[in-house]
Structure 1
Amino acid sequence: MLALNGFVQAERVGPVSGEFAAGSLTLLIGPNGSGKSSLLTGAAGLSRSEGKGEVRLAGKALSGFSLHELARHRAMLAQQAVLPHGLRGYELLALGAEPLGGVSEAVCESIARLAGPLGLEKLYQRQLNTLSGGEQQRLLIASTLLQVDPAINSDAQLLLLDEPLAGLDWQHQLACLRLLRGYAEQGLAVVASIHDINMACQYADSIWCLHRGQLAACGGPEVISPELIAEVFEVRVKVMEQDGQRIMLPQE
């Protein structure tokens, strides 16, 4: 679906080569400054600085898409999104529907489906500047998901999110990951960066571990080992088994 070939952002990330497959949830892990945000921004075609290498979506170079085409084929949640001042929650989601032709009955149905898992019902009528950081984040996630909801956007292919779980309580972190899995199961290539390694191992089909701008490991959750954690994060962990799940616990 999305293929990177020798992708480089100077002094940030690369060269990185690999593919984010359709129907798969890929989670990026790595320390702060390891290149996760730069990789996601490049994968979205939003890099401000000139990069090297090639990024192709469904076989077509990202440079060959217009901004309008990109907005229909992929959605990106940035780590530090700028919220329009004075808008209410439902107006932010309406902006997410703009590439789809605006708010329609089908869009309203999609908004209703997202409201329950993300706890949005009480947020739609409130002004964004009155909301907590976590409440704002949940609306931003919903707006991003709406843009590429397969139920209303037949062109949707790629969903990218930079630290979507930041600021969320545990309940909504889990709800968000379940939604991402659901979008992947509907055929999208879904890629997100997160910091919780155990959650990454539980929910991801594939994990990319970045270290100093390089791809240190790539594959299923089994590629995340205590040795890799010690090398990349400089933390010693022990592995425990609980109900068939591997859990990594930091050691003193």
Structure 2
Amino acid sequence: MLALEDFALAGRVGPVSGEFRAGRLTLLIGPNGSGKSSLLAGAAGLAEGEGRVRLAGRDLDAFDLFELSRHRAMLTQQVPLPQGLRGYELLALAAEPVGGVSEALCRAIAALAPELGLEPLYDRPLAALSGGEQQRLLIAKTVLQLDPKVNPDGALLLLDEPLAGLDWRHQLATLGLLRRCADRGLAVVASIHDINLACQFGDDIWCLHRGRLAARGGPEVVTPELIAEVFGVRVRLLEQDGARLLLPDTEAGC
């Protein structure tokens, strides 16, 4: 779906090569400053670097911005919110790349509302919402942009730390939503800091360290040795009923 060939942004990330595949949820982990945001920006066509980035076999720089917005959606860490809008008006902006508000968009919004707890936010000014409430609306807006009933051209969903500011319930709801987006055929890529949640929900894990890929593969690539090398933290690995859990080894220290 999206292929990176020796992609690099000077002093930030790379060179990195790999593929984000359709139908897969890829989760990026790594310390602060490891290059996750830069990699996502390059994959979204928001940062021009060295190497090659191709979406569905086509060079990313061959898309104009309008065309690109029909094929991929990106949630960045810091989104400037339009002044004076209410919650439902922010969600309506998801329709801009696909011809405006439609009955299909309204149905898609209604389907998302219970999961992300959106209904109480519809008529409230964005400035009156908490950070977590704003984040839930932004996640919904990003997902709606590629909803197959609204936009049949959607292919790639990118989210930079979508769980930031969310309580536990809405973190799990968001990851479940991303899982279903991948099951519908999108290539879904997100950076998160909770390593255990990454291992629980991710099909593929990319671990970045100092701008390079330290590990890539299924959740099994996340080992105590990797965590010690990349994060400088000693952990213990617990396994029960097929689930893996990494816990800080408080007795050993860092």
* TM-score by shorter chain over 0.5: yes
Aligned residue type for 1:243: D
One of 229, 232, 240 as aligned partner of 1:231: 229
2:167 aligns to what? 169
Aligned to 2:121, the other structure's residue is in SS state: coil
Give distance in 2, aligned partners of 1:26 and 1:6. 19
Give distance in 2, aligned partners of 1:76 and 1:251. 36
Give distance in 2, aligned partners of 1:112 and 1:225. 40
Give distance in 2, aligned partners of 1:133 and 1:211. 28
Q: 1:8 and 2:8 equivalent?
A: yes
Aligned residue type for 1:187: G
Give distance in 1, aligned partners of 2:101 and 2:134. 20
Within 5 A, what are the aligned runs for 1:212-223? 212-223=210-221
Give distance in 2, aligned partners of 1:36 and 1:108. 33
Query: Which structure 1 residue ranges, 4+ long, deviate > 4 Å from structure 2?
Result: none
One of 71, 89, 92 as aligned partner of 2:90: 92
Which range is displaced more, 234-243 or 137-146? 234-243
Give distance in 2, aligned partners of 1:73 and 1:219. 25
Q: 1:54 and 2:58 equivalent?
A: no
Unaligned 5+ segments in structure 1 are none
- How far the C-alpha of 1:242 sits from its partner, in A, is 2.8
Give distance in 2, aligned partners of 1:35 and 1:148. 25
Count of matched residue pairs: 250
One of 108, 116, 119 as aligned partner of 2:117: 119
Give distance in 1, aligned partners of 2:228 and 2:38. 24
Give distance in 2, aligned partners of 1:113 and 1:102. 18
Percent of aligned pairs sharing the same letter: 73
- How far the C-alpha of 1:152 sits from its partner, in A, is 1.6
1:17 aligns to what? 17
- How far the C-alpha of 1:135 sits from its partner, in A, is 0.1
Aligned to 1:28, the other structure's residue is in SS state: strand
Aligned residue type for 1:213: G
Give distance in 2, aligned partners of 1:163 and 1:243. 29
Q: Deviations over 1:155-204 (max 9, x none)?
A: 00000000000000000000000000000000000000000000000000
One of 167, 182, 185 as aligned partner of 1:184: 182
Q: Deviations over 1:206-251 (max 9, x none)?
A: 0000000000000000000000000000000001123320100001
One of 68, 71, 89 as aligned partner of 1:70: 68
Across the aligned residues of Structure 1 and Structure 2, the Cα RMSD in angstroms comes to 0.6
Aligned to 1:97, the other structure's residue is in SS state: helix
- How far the C-alpha of 1:62 sits from its partner, in A, is 0.5
Which range is displaced more, 10-19 or 144-153? 144-153
Q: Normalised by the size of structure 2, how large is the TM-score?
A: 0.98
Give distance in 2, aligned partners of 1:105 and 1:51. 39
Aligned residue type for 1:34: S
- How far the C-alpha of 1:97 sits from its partner, in A, is 1.1
Give distance in 2, aligned partners of 1:250 and 1:64. 46
Aligned residue type for 1:7: F
Q: Deviations over 1:118-169 (max 9, x none)?
A: 0000001000000000000000000000000112211000000000000000
Unaligned 5+ segments in structure 2 are none
One of 203, 206, 212 as aligned partner of 1:205: 203
- How far the C-alpha of 1:96 sits from its partner, in A, is 1.1
Q: 1:39 and 2:28 equivalent?
A: no
1:128 aligns to what? 126
Aligned residue type for 1:210: L
Aligned to 2:119, the other structure's residue is in SS state: coil
- How far the C-alpha of 1:27 sits from its partner, in A, is 0.1
- How far the C-alpha of 1:51 sits from its partner, in A, is 1.1
